[in-house]
Amino acid sequence: MDWGMANRLAQLIQPDGHALFLPIDHGYFQGPTRKLEAPGKTIKPLLPYADALFVTRGVLRSSVAPGNSKPLILRVSGGTSMVGKDLANEGLTTSMEEAIRLNASAVGISVFVGSDYEKESLLNLAKLVDDGERCGIPVMAVTAVGKELEKRDTRYLALACRIAAELGARVVKTYWCENFEKVTGGCPVPVVMAGGPQVNTELEVFQFVHDGIQKGSIGVNLGRNIWQNEFPVAMIKAIRGIVHGKATPGEAQEIYDSEKGKKGRRS
C-alpha cells in the first residue's frame, strides 16, 4: 500500500483498529432532515467524539469550520432524491480533484446491488476506485438499499459487501443484521456499521453496535441514532465507549445516563 493511502486510512481507523464515523450527508437525497436542518450547529458539540465526518462538499464548505474539523470522508455520489423515481439511479457528483482540493481522507459512494441500476452503480464504484488508487485516496463503498428496507438481511448484505471489496473499496459501510459475522467474515476489507433495525430505546442501539463489534465490524457510521437523539452528546459518548472503550451495552447505558444530565441536551 502506498504511503499516502496508508496515511489517509490511519487518519480514519484509529490505532486500536476501530473507528467512529459521523455521517451528516443525508440531505443529498432527503433534503433538510430532522435535527440536521442546520448541520454546523448539529455537529459542533459532537465533533470532539468523532473520528471522521462523512459529508458532502456543499455542507462542508458552508457549515464546517476549516480550523476545527476532523478527517473527512467526502460523499461523491448522488443525483437522485426521495421524491424521484428510483434512488438507485445515482451518478458521480464530485471529482477526485475536488476531493484533493478539500483535503479529504477518503471518498464515499453508494452501490445498489440487486437494483435496476446495479451495473451502473458498481461501475461508478470501479471508476472511483481507479481514480482513488491513482491519487492515494481510499474509497468507502456504502451498500445502499434505497427504499427497499427488507433487503437488510444477512445473505444480501454479505453479497453486497463482498462485491464492493472485490471492486476495490478499501472500507465498506453496511447495515447491521442478524448473524453479522457472516457479513464481516466474507468481506476482506474493514466493515463499519451504518445502522440496524428500527429500535425504540438507546439500549437497543448499544446492543446492535456491541454485537457488530464483537462479530468483526471495526466500528460505526451512525448519524440519526446520534444527532436525532434527545441527548446527542451523551449518545455519541456512549457509542464511543463501545467502539473504543470495549464497553458492554449495559456500561454504555450507564455512560449515556450519566452524561445526559450535563450539556448533552439539545432543544
Mean pLDDT of 7-14: 98
Map grid coordinates 462485491 to a residue.
Answer: 163
Q: Which residue out of 35, 70, 151, 173 is catalytically annotated?
A: 173
pLDDT in tens, 84-98: 999 999 999 999 999
CA atoms within 13 A on the CB side of 8: 24
Q: Are 227 and 248 in contact (CB under 8 A)?
A: no
Q: Encode burial over 179-213: b for 16+ CB neighbours within 10 A, e otherwise.
A: ebebbbebbebbbbbbbbeeeeebeebbbbbbbbb
Would you place residue 195 in the very low, low, confident or very high pLDDT band (cuts 50, 70, 90)?
A: confident
Would you place residue 149 in the very low, low, confident or very high pLDDT band (cuts 50, 70, 90)?
A: low
Q: Are 23 and 227 in contact (CB under 8 A)?
A: no
The domains located in the chain, with CATH, are 3-223 (3.20.20.70)
Residue 265 has pLDDT above 60, yes or no: no
Residue 151, pLDDT score: 66
Would you place residue 146 in the very low, low, confident or very high pLDDT band (cuts 50, 70, 90)?
A: low
User: Mean pLDDT over all residues of the chain?
Assistant: 94
CA atoms within 13 A on the CB side of 30: 14
Q: Are 115 and 121 in contact (CB under 8 A)?
A: yes
**Annotation marks residue 173 as catalytic:** yes
pLDDT in tens, 212-264: 999 999 999 999 999 999 999 999 999 999 999 999 999 999 999 999 987 64
pLDDT in tens, 16-71: 999 999 999 999 999 999 999 999 999 999 999 999 999 999 999 999 999 988 99
